[in-house]
Structure 1
Amino acid sequence: MSQQGDDVDGLVRNRLRALRVAQGWSLEELATRAKISQSSLSRIENGQRRLALDQLVILARALDTSLDQLVETGTDSVVSNPTTYGSHEVRRWSIKAEPGMTVVRRRITEPPPESPARLRAHPGREWFVVLSGAAVLLLGSDRIRVETNQAAEFPTMLPHAIGAEGGPCEILGLFDREARRGHRDDLTADPPPRRHRRSAAGQNWCSPPSTSRFAP
């Protein structure tokens, strides 16, 4: 198998495990829902059994996702820079705003986890803007550094985690409805999230250079 094939194979296996853990299910519970043996599921997750299309379809359905999301690999153009315009140097990040999106401001002090087992995956899509410091986004097998004023956008079906690099960082996280459900345990301790404000075009997030209109 090619290196790319190996990477996709490993990504899907990690995603299956991360989705199961995110649901709080044991191997036995997911195996029961998917109507396959627990030993087969264990071998699939651990790479001891080849991935078969029919089993992936069944597992995707049991995990309340789709086959397309389960095997999605695209991570191109994750990081973007803002456009600065006007006399007040307002920064704008192009993001496709959706109804029901949630905005949460967070301070991160820890680096991202070293163990792939601690990455999570769940349906949805997530964005974040780094307000200060530098963040590291682990996305599948990629490690992506996101600097102050840069934004990142990614599908949360890819196993992921966000940490700080070189000191604390502050980010503004944006979640669609599905992504927020996937982070419900993390966000319950945060201040009440605010709904987003959209520009006239409905597709841009704007803020002055040193402050954020979405800060709690």
Structure 2
Amino acid sequence: MKQDDDVDALVRSRIRGLRTALGWSLDDFAARCHMSPSTLSRIETGHRRIGLDQLTAIARALGVTLDQLVESVADEDVVIRPVHDPARGVTTWMLSREDGPHGVTVARMRIVKPPPRRDALKVHPGHDWFTVLSGTVLLLLGERTITVETGQAAAFSTMIPHAFGAKDGPAEILAVLDHDGRRIHLLTERPAD
């Protein structure tokens, strides 16, 4: 029962935390949930059980899903460690631990090598997007060579043969990649060094 008590306490804490973050008094929150302020107070303090119908109304009022309110706390490592790929000259920090909305992945990449030869360009379904944080990136896109400098971004269909690499020294990018882009551009199956 300890685990159930922990989840119960976590849900109550989230409800109160979200309500206060929104700047709502118990009266404001009660009006949005169609419940009495005293009922909500007892729910937040643990003096009343939370019914599924109440939890649904509370989640709707707070603008979150039931899953977000009740998901258990993962005791995972919060430090994002780099994955080095010396052969490709890329170090990657996976900023999203799982696929985000619409199956995209966010990664920070430090690139030290130029792009590969044109005969090594890849294609895959989807779109890639990146912004250059520092340095300059050469984007090979079909027959074109595009220079993307610090502060600039690029977005393109990945059905066009493409590759990117550093120009005249290291470059860092923030990339948003779909599932196929993640598989092609990030060697995520390699262990971290």
Q: TM-score, normalised by structure 1?
A: 0.44
Structure scoring higher RCO (CA < 8 A, sep ≥ 6) equals 1
Larger Rg: 2
